Amino acid sequence: MAELFTKINDGIKEAMKSKDQERLSVLRMIKSKILYVNARGDQLTDSEVTKIISKYSKEVIESVEEAKKLSRNEEVAKGESELQVIREYLPKEMSSDEIKSAVVYIIKEINATSIKDMGRVMKAIGEKYPSVDGKIANTYVRELLGS
């Protein structure tokens, strides 16, 4: 199994020892999502595990935003503390400038010339840089390839 998955399992053990129920709950949820995706028992890479965790992170962010709209402060606080734990297992998010340079690099690497190549560019970015915010990357791709 991936090194990141092992790190999550170690985090679960630590949370159990320290009786940190909130952290334990989040880590178990991450593990269950990984195991659900990996139902066939294949060896997942760290990149694939990162994608699963990133997707879960986005789900939590959406629920926090929804709770904010409905003024459910308790749910917002719970979601934000959940995000803190999740982010420990994700690579550092790239800055806007780093994302732009990554997009430029991928465009040159795959010789993309027009907006018709956008799908190939976005796929290559997702594979090479799993921690990239797709919305920001999409904006730069459109800007650089001309929309």
**Predicted local confidence at residue 1, as pLDDT:** 59
Average pLDDT of 118-146? 86
- pLDDT tens column, 7-40: 999 999 999 999 999 999 999 999 999 999 887 7
Six-digit token pair at 137?
């990357």
**Predicted local confidence at residue 126, as pLDDT:** 83
Q: Which domain holds residue 60?
A: 3-87
Identify whether residues 32 and 11 lie together within a single domain.
Answer: yes
- Yes or no: say if 64 and 83 are a contact pair by the CB < 8 Å rule: yes
**Predicted local confidence at residue 132, as pLDDT:** 81
User: Lowest-pLDDT range, 37-46, 79-88, 131-140?
Assistant: 37-46
How many distinct structural domains can be found in the chain?
A: 2
Instruction: Give the CATH number, domain containing residue 48.
Output: 1.10.1510.10
Identify whether residues 8 and 79 lie together within a single domain.
Answer: yes
Identify whether residues 80 and 113 lie together within a single domain.
Answer: no
* 147 band by pLDDT with thresholds 50, 70 and 90: low
**Predicted local confidence at residue 91, as pLDDT:** 81
d(CA 72, CA 20): 24
Does the pTM of the predicted model rise above 0.75?
Answer: no
Q: 7 exposed, middle or buried (CB, 10 Å; 0-12, 13-18, 19+)?
A: middle
- Taken in order 124, 129, 135, 140, the sign of the CA dihedral is negative
**Predicted local confidence at residue 130, as pLDDT:** 73
Identify whether residues 134 and 102 lie together within a single domain.
Answer: yes
- pLDDT tens column, 79-127: 999 999 999 998 887 888 888 999 999 999 998 888 898 899 998 988 8
Q: Residues near 47 by Cβ (< 8 Å), separated by ≥ 6?
A: 127, 130
- Yes or no: say if 1 and 60 are a contact pair by the CB < 8 Å rule: no
